[in-house]
Amino acid sequence: MIKLLIYEDNPQLREGLTMLIEGSEGYSVLATFKNCNNVVDEVEAFKPDVILMDIDMPGTNGIEGLKLIRQRNLDVKVLMLTVFDDNRNVFEALKNGANGYVLKKTPPAKLLEYISEAASGGAPMTSSIATQVLKMFSEVPVPAGGEDYKLSDREKEVLQLLVNGYSYKMIASEMFIAIDTVRSHIKKIYEKLHVNSKSEAVAKAFKDKLV
């Protein structure tokens, strides 16, 4: 059972998300909130597996809420709910430890898939958001002579697919390997690049011309 907290100030969307998730086998909504004013205490009290976090909320917003969560808890998975053109907020969320970035208009079945992927250690990202993020990183100045992280050819192939926005399932299908093998490759990539998330790995891949 994947246990969730939802932070969303729009009552209709909050109710809709709750009904969708509660009505799906294997998911449970522990509580919902309209802002992050008491987010640290709430996360501590409910101990969710995944948090769906709106970015733009009155009071303490999603970015500030994320920062507060990460000061105390590095394990809970936080999926940011966003709109297509707020790339500045997406970048801020990325820097502060978000595990994924999902459009509010994401189809229900896909949203559940994203939640499941985040809970299992993935980093789901709506393709249009991934495009925005990759564009931002492509504009970052590249230092001369990227560092050699001693990635194997197989690891470079996995990293390239991550950069292309592939999910763990898509990488497994593309490379004809098991998802556990994908996870093993990605764990080694993270260790070699000294990063903790897909977003950081993609950023370093761009900055140091690894792909």
The CATH number for 114's domain is 3.40.50.2300
pTM above 0.75? no
* Residue 1 CA to its chain's centroid (Å): 20
Cα 130 to Cα 147: distance, rounded to the nearest angstrom: 25
3-state DSSP of 18-59: HHHHHCCCCEEEEEEECCCCCHHHHHHHHCCCEEEEECCCCC
Smallest CA-to-CA distance from 2 within 101, 126, 98, 117 is with 117
Q: How many C-beta atoms surround the C-beta of residue 87 within 10 A?
A: 16
Cα 85 to Cα 177: distance, rounded to the nearest angstrom: 35
116 shares its domain with 150:
no
Percent of the chain topping pLDDT 90: 58
The CATH number for 151's domain is 1.10.10.10
Quick: pLDDT tens for 52-92.
999 989 999 999 999 999 999 989 999 998 875 567 777 78
90 shares its domain with 160:
no
Of 82, 101, 136, the one marking the end of a domain is 136
Mean pLDDT of the chain: 88
Least-confidence region, from 11-15, 113-117, 137-141, 175-179 = 137-141
203 shares its domain with 101:
no
120 shares its domain with 24:
yes
Give the orientation angle of helix 179-193 with respect to helix 198-207, to 10 degrees: 60
77 shares its domain with 169:
no
182 shares its domain with 116:
no
What's the pLDDT score for residue 140? 59
**Domain encompassing residue 167:** 143-207
pLDDT level of residue 37 (50, 70, 90 thresholds): very high
Cα separations in angstroms, 190 against 149, 174, 202: 10, 20, 10
In degrees, rounded to 5, the angle at the alpha carbon of residue 127 between the alpha carbons of residues 126 and 133 is 90
Q: Which residues, including other chains, have CB under 8 Å from residue 91's CB and lie 6 or more apart?
A: 133, 136
What's the pLDDT score for residue 33? 97
Contact 40, 72 (CB under 8 A): yes
124 shares its domain with 164:
no
116 shares its domain with 199:
no
6 shares its domain with 90:
yes
8 shares its domain with 88:
yes
Q: What total number of domains does the chain contain? A: 2
pLDDT level of residue 12 (50, 70, 90 thresholds): very high
Of 136, 165, 183, the one marking the end of a domain is 136
Q: What is the dihedral of CA 88, 196, 200, 58, to 10 degrees?
A: 0
